[in-house]
Amino acid sequence: MKKLFFICCISFLALAQETLEVADNNTPQAIQIQTQKNGNFIAGVFLGSQILSLDSDYYMGFIEIENIENTKTTLGLNYAIKFGYDFLIHPKQYIRLYADYSGASLFPNLSSGNTILHNITLNVDYRYNVSDLIGVFIGANGGGILIDTQHLGFQSALSAGINLGMIFNLLPYMELELRLRFMDSTLKEKNVALDTTAQNIGATSQKSEFGDFISTALGINFKF
């Protein structure tokens, strides 16, 4: 999954490079307005899906049982809000700086049970308007992540990751944004109750760790 994500990143970078070389110099009315203002404040709301995995290692006493690793993945509902500023650095090119809160409610099919995810990040993206209608962006995020679980308690850590996506310029004051976000965190392994796999292989202890924080969301941004 991580390899697929980074392939997507490379594809977006290649698309941006190609459009920089071949795009014409025509600028839509909406972009002309932004050029005069040197940028826009942006406020947005998002709704989408969240992927979260739980990796488990099993032990016999103090010795890890080799070649036995159980990774379970679950889906959930993702929601987010953001506020920031798009700085115009060149016709059709922007640097986007914004703060973002995203939350997710995950389906309880992990050993963690009911799981609620909270993530607050600061983000910086590079955006290029491919045409009057479509823009692409890629950037980075960093912040803090909180996970409240039914069976594994409350966990918090630092997070960092990559943003990429597309923007559709609907109106001078409104745009549609489709984004993909991948994050990693400093969450550590935690001793947990034995799951079915641990019981079947005769393990005496189990440690689990959350990973693969991947979200896809569609949102509306308002420019002012």
Q: What is the mean pLDDT of residues 213-224?
A: 96
Q: Which amino acid is at 153?
A: G
- The CATH number for 147's domain is 2.40.160.20
Looking at residue 112, its pLDDT comes to: 73
Q: What is the mean pLDDT of residues 93-105?
A: 96
Mean pLDDT of the chain: 84
Which is nearest to 223 in space by CA: 88, 113, 61?
A: 88
Instruction: Name the pLDDT band for 181 (thresholds 50, 70, 90).
Output: very high
Residue 176 lies in a domain: yes
Residue 165 lies in a domain: yes
Instruction: Name the pLDDT band for 22 (thresholds 50, 70, 90).
Output: very low
Residue 154 lies in a domain: yes
Question: DSSP for 185-217?
Answer: E----EEE---HHHHHHT-SEEEEEEEEEEEEE
Q: What is the mean pLDDT of residues 76-90?
A: 96
Residue 78 lies in a domain: yes
Domain residues for the domain of 177 are 2-49+73-185+210-223
Q: What is the DSSP secondary structure assignment for residue 150, as one 8-state letter?
A: S
For the chain, how many structural domains are there in total? Answer: 1
Instruction: Name the pLDDT band for 102 (thresholds 50, 70, 90).
Output: very high
pLDDT in tens, 135-163: 999 999 999 999 998 878 889 999 999 99
pLDDT over 70, % of the chain:
83
Residue 89 lies in a domain: yes
Residue 202 lies in a domain: no
Looking at residue 125, its pLDDT comes to: 98
Residue 14 lies in a domain: yes
Which is nearest to 86 in space by CA: 134, 22, 12, 137?
A: 137
Residue 56 lies in a domain: no
Cα separation, 123 vs 100, in Å, equals 7
